[in-house]
Structure 1
């Protein structure tokens, strides 16, 4: 066993902090703040950000990975989620071409913070939607994979802390501005982007004062093209005891196809989606710092995230839903060896041609005040107050036109699906009817309307103290108290439906598909007839335009717009009371190179939930049963629980470059507020022979708890060079799953049963895996070649968790991994940083994963996402020390995203998104 002398370890720590401070333009991590830096090592660009991220990982008390901005307003990726995908163990989900959410080591239950405080998007959840935040506001992002007791609970997957800058991070006056133009090639549009930071600090008669304002604006566009197949259903060819078919219709289809006695799976149609939209992000970070004495520091900060999202789409479906589909037996059909449909023609398939609008506006305002007091060299006291308010408003409206496909020709397989609609009279001519308004107007259509609004508020306060000892193995003791009072109010209307008759000619438009959709793909119809997209993008104008074409009884309701009924609202309140203690130790003075911390965090949580039971009793009218008047019965539930979360972090130094970390802790994640929603709609009258059904949330849900263990071996062979390997194991208790059970109700006419689906805390799950990675610059190469570098990592995650919803076509239960978890993923990034030139090429890949165990519109089948890789790149030329130009591109390989129903031979959708190319000019003084 090799021991390390104290001077060597201190020198290593100081070198890492020095690089980190220069690269970040910010205060070093908390574990290293109180050590005076040595002479600065000046590095810039990619090399600086890599050095800083490495020093944070190396010197942290816990297992953490970091991303550091290469310059003010310049994270390696424009989108926070996309930047995070470069970190080992993180996988992201994309929404309309952009990263939107992340999972860490297979778990999507991730806590998000800004500067170590709560932050959230008001949407019924608990975390921040990462797509809401302009990345230009951030100095860096830290990902904690096994946190210590002094960190706020809430993420069994991990904790993501977004770090902003402060005025005292800079020596004096600082100004930075950037402007970008972004081009989206599939949509064919360009959008602007800008960032401005101004900061200064002054010595005054009342102490030193610093002020900083950081403003970021982004406007982006997107287009997403999608060609999809409807779910595959097996033809029932079984015979009853008397020898007759159990399903005569399916038996007749199998006979007509010549497939009696053979497994046969038919899709029930196809669809096209073309989504055209834009996003707008506005971010503000304003901070003021006041240091009246050498021992006292006040920091006040306001962070605002203002996000708008909108799209209007053309969706074209030829499908039968759960109803049988009829083959054209005169045409050739092909199947694979397992009986899955590959090609053929169907007759008289209904068409829905939809034009829709979806909007979301989310605003989060975060006010905070922090006081740091050092009454002695050994004692530090921190006080922190926060108020946060978030709102989200959403709209969804869909105008539907009906038609009929006389002949639907369909091909599915490993490539992009083919769908073509042919008229009866001349199958070779094709598509004559699909773009003719006369084939839509007689069948009329409909309009679906939905609105929602969420408001979230939180008051939080905490007090922390740390006392450092001058000698001995016990280096410090920390303790703290925290209180939060959070509320969430959600209004979400049911979808109102209005039937429409034939519209005026000026409300129709013909939208082309063939030659335009999917980058010129030919295997689609010429186009379709739609309600005018120009009108549907104006929510009020849509209702005004449709009013003459709905029934007299519905007209006024349509003009007034959707309104909320009592049961559309649910309210949650949550208070937490927290205390923690943490001891840091180091046995270096005793000749044993081991340090770490041990702690305990105890949290009491009180939850209040309010909603309604919507009761519709059965009445007898004219001797016939029917539905009576609706009543709303208030429902309130209070619950509480107390949890103790121990943690232990150890670090053993084999040498000044090689260290081993061991960590064990217990964590929790509380249920989303939407899962606690108690609202339920119960109807007593049962008009058919089927069971009464209903769905609801569950106000009695308990948090998920995880016991987690980590081991990490890290070798730091230079300031920008390291290799590491880590193994992890998590045992999660109380996975939440939707379970259907029978409940009994009585409205005065006697008891009756209802099959109610609710989220319940279910069985346990296990997640295990390992990570390997490393990075280095090739400084040993001569001249310009020494500017090259590489970063690579690989993650393996295996999970076993309950999935009660997963079933195949025949209703058999399936064993599937955790949703949104790929078993394998890797990043390969090449760098160049020398002189005025800095460049990066990054490839990210992940293996297949389960999107959902039972998808909407999937025939209740699990949906898988196929393996996917994406290439991004950027190059920066520093013209002068104060001026630089950056050219970057995203999705350069034009990656296709593919999903399928259970097995790859049953495709669900093929999706293409934009390639983005951006040019940025950046000034810094």
Structure 2
């Protein structure tokens, strides 16, 4: 059952904020007498002559970055080498005010900043991305141990690279000149994942040194990180809902059988369960070389490589009538919500499906960079930077399916965990229950590259209001090419013998009321693609064809100028960035029919295709202004105004659309397809930001921020219905998911953040500390694909409320942290298949993580950390909460780490 702790009500949310406010008020009041005497410092590593390490040092460094930045920025600084607050980069980012995390199979994979997902990712201020048609890095690809810190820029300035609506995330790696000399650090971790019941190892090593030579000072750093994780995800799904139409003869008959004639009645068209097993492997390497031949010249060369492998295999079993009527059992008891939505009842003669599938992804991103800094005179700094990114991704999807008919289906969706009971006279573990079998496979590969060059110059003035002028040029040439076989359908002549009984006794941690065990295609076979083909008698993998290719190329030419000024108590900068974008995309519209092979089996036939090519050119002028007012030594205000753009991703621009005819075993399913829109325009935003920041100690601050974004050409998901006729004369209706530029969108909100160590408390309580933040985001945008009882929704993936509460204890060699993150409901997609275009919402949820570490010696530490300790269940629903969609559980993870540094 859902626990209130996992899904707080609004009253609980306000109570939590009130509690944090009380604690904040007490601590600030008690500490107020010390504030006036305490001065800010740019050297947060020491306090009153005492060396500060661990959590205090990391919070102090992050606070110093935020306080002294020319723009609005929040940071995370690693406590030690290889030690971000969380092992997953996205999970670490969720602790920052205004950031919300999207999770995939239990791990954070992407983030939204202030409710917007159009985020730019950078590595040391340069492009970084995953080859998949996205314009950014998949955050689960990168090992956290390679990073020294992460900066999140929330408002643009002219010297920052464009292409984001919400902010820029910059990942920082370490350099050899960061250390005084030889530095060696290593970690070894063993993690346990409780739902899948597996242990997985991780390790990292960094070696850095620097030397004075006859040609100047030289430093070399090499770092490697290896991570393995496992996961299991259990899901109970309710299939889409349909409201019975009394003017339709079939629906009228169903209403009469239910005794609901004249009453609004909505029935789900089935249910299903899924049990997914998988693992991830991350291998990251970073090699940096620095050379300082003189005090005025420094050269840095770096090669950063991320190698990520992801794999899962699963069982799924579902009873589903698709768009056809679902038949109530005569005389069975049914219950309904007040609005007529189904709550419980029994159906008969429902088609069932039984799938065993596998998916793999292998992504590599290699970043080669060269940076030169030269100071020909004291007041002038010239920086030249070159970069080449080579990224590749390979994907495989393999699905075996069985089809049959169940005698009865009983559902009760009134509780937090749906009850599902499916009955068959022959039994669900009997092959005789299934009448047909099929196989689907799809291969695709993406290759992307990026060549960039930039030249920047900054001149500093010795006196006057104008403190410096910075100007520069940038050229970038990014390419992406994807080849895709499309889904190949193979109808099987009979039910294979390679089936196994699946024990579902521990499904959903044993908390689900299910139908017992099932029989399914052997999971050990499906995990090996070639073995699957051999077992099913399929000669070879599907071939890549010309029509399965799509390409995108984007060139940008940029110039900017920024003036930095200071007139006490005000400082800031004003500038403009001008960007010319040249874009070319190409692909194919294709249709693939079903034909019969020489044995009379259904297979995918020859593809008919037509080429598509589209070009766009546009110029963007992006002014920006950043002001800061120093009210006192510890209190400052900021104001920022800027224009920005976010270009469509290559996936959104992909003009290709593949329509594959369904085979006989797929007739009862909804027919879907998805593609991009090559005519999408870039999104434009006018941004206003304001903050008030009080820094009352080196690790203590209270800040508030307000923001407003007026967005034009916002891109959202759209669903259209298309009747497709194939060359063999067969016609089907398809739900085609694509993207549109809606007219306008508005995002506004505010952030509150507080952190402090309670040093004024008597020992040992003076080691206590706290971080707390709260974000409110409100949005308005046209909803291009919603109807029925829901016609207005916020932007996708945006939670209106989000908060973090982190309790900290650090004293002596002991450090502990307990962190709770909560977010309110949000729209997963504005259009769900088969729902009459209802959006899908994710219910509110929270997650509790904790860690404890002890420094056995100054060079050796042990740490224990856990994630998802409260076994949070996540749930979605179709449009209104009386129509549930999915309920999901994931692993809890416990990790033990040994860390050595000298």
Shared fold by TM > 0.5? yes
Shift of 1:413: 1.6
Matched residues in 2 for 1:680 and 1:344: separation?
Answer: 40
After superposition, where does 1:48-63 map in structure 2 within 5 Å?
A: 48-63=57-72
Among 582, 586, 597, the residue aligned to 1:606: 582
The Cα offsets for residues 571-607 of structure 1, whole Å up to 9 and x where unpaired, read as 111111100000100002xxxx000000100000111
Give the secondary-structure state (helix, strand or coil) at the position aligned to 1:543: helix
Among 504, 511, 536, the residue aligned to 2:502: 511
Among 861, 877, 888, the residue aligned to 1:900: 877
Partners of 2:185 and 2:900 within 8 A in 1:
yes
Shift of 1:143: 0.3
After superposition, where does 1:31-42 map in structure 2 within 5 Å?
A: 42=51
Give the secondary-structure state (helix, strand or coil) at the position aligned to 1:407: strand
Matched residues in 1 for 2:858 and 2:660: separation?
Answer: 71
> Partner residue of 1:474?
466
> Partner residue of 1:731?
710
TM-aligned CA distance change 1:756 to 1:93, over 3 Å? closer
> Partner residue of 1:914?
891
The Cα offsets for residues 498-556 of structure 1, whole Å up to 9 and x where unpaired, read as 11133443x0001011x310001240111111000000000111011011xxxxxxxxx
TM-aligned CA distance change 1:681 to 1:416, over 3 Å? closer
Partners of 2:574 and 2:626 within 8 A in 1:
yes
Give the secondary-structure state (helix, strand or coil) at the position aligned to 2:680: coil
Partners of 1:804 and 1:813 within 8 A in 2:
no
Among 429, 440, 444, the residue aligned to 1:435: 429
Shift of 1:16: 3.6
1:447 and 2:426 correspond: no
> Partner residue of 2:350?
349
> Partner residue of 1:528?
518
> Partner residue of 1:217?
226
Give the secondary-structure state (helix, strand or coil) at the position aligned to 1:358: strand
TM-aligned CA distance change 1:857 to 1:205, over 3 Å? farther
Matched residues in 2 for 1:574 and 1:582: separation?
Answer: 25
After superposition, where does 1:282-361 map in structure 2 within 5 Å?
A: 282-361=283-362
> Partner residue of 1:197?
206
Among 70, 78, 86, the residue aligned to 2:79: 70
Matched residues in 2 for 1:682 and 1:185: separation?
Answer: 41
Give the secondary-structure state (helix, strand or coil) at the position aligned to 1:200: strand
> Partner residue of 1:35?
none
> Partner residue of 2:782?
802
Shift of 1:700: 2.9
TM-aligned CA distance change 1:756 to 1:858, over 3 Å? closer
> Partner residue of 2:7?
none
Shift of 1:693: 11
Shift of 1:158: 0.5
Partners of 2:807 and 2:818 within 8 A in 1:
yes
> Partner residue of 2:487?
495
Matched residues in 2 for 1:613 and 1:786: separation?
Answer: 67
Give the secondary-structure state (helix, strand or coil) at the position aligned to 2:51: coil
Among 573, 577, 580, the residue aligned to 1:597: 573
The Cα offsets for residues 776-796 of structure 1, whole Å up to 9 and x where unpaired, read as 000001121110000000000
Matched residues in 2 for 1:279 and 1:164: separation?
Answer: 22
After superposition, where does 1:377-776 map in structure 2 within 5 Å?
A: 377-423=378-424, 433-440=427-434, 443-505=435-497, 507-513=498-504, 515-547=505-537, 558-588=538-568, 593-614=569-590, 632-680=609-657, 696-737=675-716, 759-776=739-756
TM-aligned CA distance change 1:46 to 1:696, over 3 Å? closer
Matched residues in 1 for 2:243 and 2:591: separation?
Answer: 38
The Cα offsets for residues 651-694 of structure 1, whole Å up to 9 and x where unpaired, read as 0011001000000011111111122222356999xxxxxxx999
Partners of 1:182 and 1:220 within 8 A in 2:
yes
Give the secondary-structure state (helix, strand or coil) at the position aligned to 2:273: strand
Partners of 1:18 and 1:39 within 8 A in 2:
no
1:842 and 2:819 correspond: yes
The Cα offsets for residues 148-207 of structure 1, whole Å up to 9 and x where unpaired, read as 110101111100000000000000000000000000001100000001000000000100
Deviates more, 1:283-292 or 1:41-50: 41-50
Shift of 1:403: 2.5
Shift of 1:320: 0.8
1:137 and 2:146 correspond: yes
Matched residues in 1 for 2:829 and 2:439: separation?
Answer: 28
Moved over 4 A (4+): 38-41, 613-617, 627-633, 680-684, 692-696, 738-745, 754-758
Partners of 1:566 and 1:632 within 8 A in 2:
no
> Partner residue of 2:664?
none
Shift of 1:861: 2.3
Matched residues in 1 for 2:73 and 2:126: separation?
Answer: 17
> Partner residue of 2:3?
none
Matched residues in 2 for 1:336 and 1:260: separation?
Answer: 16
Shift of 1:565: 2.2
Shift of 1:904: 1.0
Matched residues in 2 for 1:412 and 1:739: separation?
Answer: 29
Give the secondary-structure state (helix, strand or coil) at the position aligned to 2:632: coil
Partners of 1:397 and 1:539 within 8 A in 2:
yes
Matched residues in 2 for 1:412 and 1:494: separation?
Answer: 36
Q: Structure 2 unaligned runs (5+)? A: 1-34, 594-603, 662-670, 727-733
The Cα offsets for residues 250-309 of structure 1, whole Å up to 9 and x where unpaired, read as 111111111111111111111000000000000001100000001100000000000000
Give the secondary-structure state (helix, strand or coil) at the position aligned to 2:452: strand
**TM-score w.r.t. structure 1 length?**
0.88
Shift of 1:42: 2.2
Matched residues in 2 for 1:532 and 1:42: separation?
Answer: 59
**TM-score w.r.t. structure 2 length?**
0.90
Among 88, 91, 95, the residue aligned to 1:86: 95
Matched residues in 2 for 1:773 and 1:743: separation?
Answer: 49
Matched residues in 1 for 2:874 and 2:562: separation?
Answer: 46
TM-aligned CA distance change 1:561 to 1:857, over 3 Å? farther
Shift of 1:122: 0.4
Matched residues in 2 for 1:631 and 1:908: separation?
Answer: 36
Matched residues in 2 for 1:324 and 1:872: separation?
Answer: 45
Give the secondary-structure state (helix, strand or coil) at the position aligned to 1:253: helix
TM-aligned CA distance change 1:39 to 1:597, over 3 Å? farther
Shift of 1:334: 1.1
Deviates more, 1:725-734 or 1:41-50: 41-50
> Partner residue of 2:52?
43
Matched residue pairs, number?
844
Partners of 1:18 and 1:40 within 8 A in 2:
no
Give the secondary-structure state (helix, strand or coil) at the position aligned to 2:376: coil
> Partner residue of 1:923?
900
Shift of 1:321: 1.1
TM-aligned CA distance change 1:755 to 1:100, over 3 Å? closer
Q: CA RMSD in A?
A: 2.7
Partners of 1:322 and 1:859 within 8 A in 2:
no
Partners of 1:50 and 1:68 within 8 A in 2:
yes
Matched residues in 2 for 1:366 and 1:858: separation?
Answer: 44
Partners of 1:832 and 1:838 within 8 A in 2:
yes
Shift of 1:612: 2.9
The Cα offsets for residues 354-393 of structure 1, whole Å up to 9 and x where unpaired, read as 1000110100000000000111221111000000010000
Shift of 1:469: 0.4
Matched residues in 2 for 1:682 and 1:309: separation?
Answer: 27
Give the secondary-structure state (helix, strand or coil) at the position aligned to 2:381: strand
Partners of 2:786 and 2:839 within 8 A in 1:
yes
TM-aligned CA distance change 1:757 to 1:56, over 3 Å? closer
1:881 and 2:858 correspond: yes
Partners of 1:286 and 1:301 within 8 A in 2:
yes
